[in-house]
Amino acid sequence: MMDTPSRVPATPPSVLAQIARLPALPMSEIRELWQKLFGADTPNYNRPFLERRIA
């Protein structure tokens, strides 16, 4: 009997596309997105930090 390899579900392209476009968004949109996702103001204005946490 052959073992079936376990498969990790693929991330939908729409999510990958949203992550890929984070660097192109204006900082104001990054802050709005943070507010929408986390329900609070951004903890700082360090863009790389915010992008990583959102992704």
pLDDT at residue 11, rounded to an integer? 65
Residue with the larger pLDDT of the pair 51 and 1: 51
Q: How does DSSP classify residue 39? A: S
Would you state the pLDDT for residue 31? 95
Long-range pairs of 22-27 with CB within 8 A, sequence gap ≥ 24: 22/51, 22/54, 22/55, 23/51
Q: How many helices (H) and strands (E) does the chain have?
A: 3, 0
**pLDDT tens digit string along 1-48?**
555 566 777 766 688 889 999 999 999 999 999 999 999 999 988 999
